[in-house]
Structure formats: structure tokens, C-alpha cells
Amino acid sequence: MYRSLLLLGLFAVLAGCASNTPTTRTVTKPPASNDRTEGAYTATGNASFYGSQHQGQKTANGERFDQNALTAAHRTLPFGSRVQVTNLRNKKTVEVRINDRGPFARGRIIDISKKAAEQLDMLGDGVVPVSIKLLSP
């Protein structure tokens, strides 16, 4: 009897701790397969660039990161996709190839290589507002 009451009390406490409020999580979904045509996918947000400490490390697609290549990390676009990145502050553009996953910093939509950051003239700023446009899937 005592054991039954103890278990009933434990379940009551656990039920009281449960919440009906769903947790919010930002999930970025890839464009639908029919949206992966040239120019169909665009986005705006903040971009950052990989630091030199990543030089030579493996990227998500298995190749080694080269800060002097025109590459980028995106959360969902397919590896090998070509993307045009435009710095919205100065309108400079660069074309990069997606070879990694990320960025994992909140509020950023793409991480680019140092070479690409140089072409966008963003090395001094570190993080800049950009628009991205899918050129080829």
C-alpha cells in the first residue's frame, strides 16, 4: 500500500513538471527540390568568414578547408552548389562553392572563406549583412 501511494505521488509530481508549452527551435529547411533551379533560392542575413585556425581541417563534404579558395558553409544547400554572395553594405559580390555545413553562430546564414571575405571587403568587419542567391544546385 505504501509503495503504491509513493508511486502515485511520484507520478503526480512528474505530471506537474510537464509542460504543454512547446519549445521553439529554429529549423532551416533546404529549398524544395523543385526550387533548386537557377536563381530560385535567395536569402538575406549575416555572413562571417572562417578564421585561419580552420585551415587544413576536413569540411563536411570531406575535403580539406583552404582559406584561399572561394568556398562557403551553408546549413542546407547541397554540396557543390554555387552561390553568389553580395555584401549589402558595399554591393561587392563573390561566387562561392558550398563545401561545408554551418554557420552555427546564431543569426548567420553563411560562412565564407577568407579569400571570399577579401573580395567582399569584409575582413575588417568580420560579420556583414549579405544576400545570397543560388546560381547552380
Which of these, 91, 81, 10, lies nearest to 39 by C-alpha position?
A: 81
Q: What is the pTM of this model?
A: 0.70
Residue tagged 508511486 (cell numbers): 7
Beta-carbon contacts of 18 under 8 Å, excluding residues fewer than 6 positions away, are none
Strand, coil or helix: 132 = strand
- Rounded to whole angstroms, the Cα distance separating 66 from 48 reads 16
pLDDT digits (tens, 9 = 90+) for 89-128: 999 999 999 999 999 889 999 999 999 999 999 999 999 9
Residue tagged 544546385 (cell numbers): 137
pLDDT digits (tens, 9 = 90+) for 35-73: 445 558 999 999 999 877 788 889 999 999 899 999 999
CATH number (3.40.50.720, 3.40.50.800, 2.40.40.10, 3.90.230.10) of 35-136 reads 2.40.40.10
What's the 3-state SS for 7-32? HHHHHHHHHHHCCCCCCCCCCCCCCC
- Rounded to whole angstroms, the Cα distance separating 111 from 33 reads 23
61: cell is 563534404
Mean per-residue pLDDT, 23-28: 32
Strand, coil or helix: 52 = helix
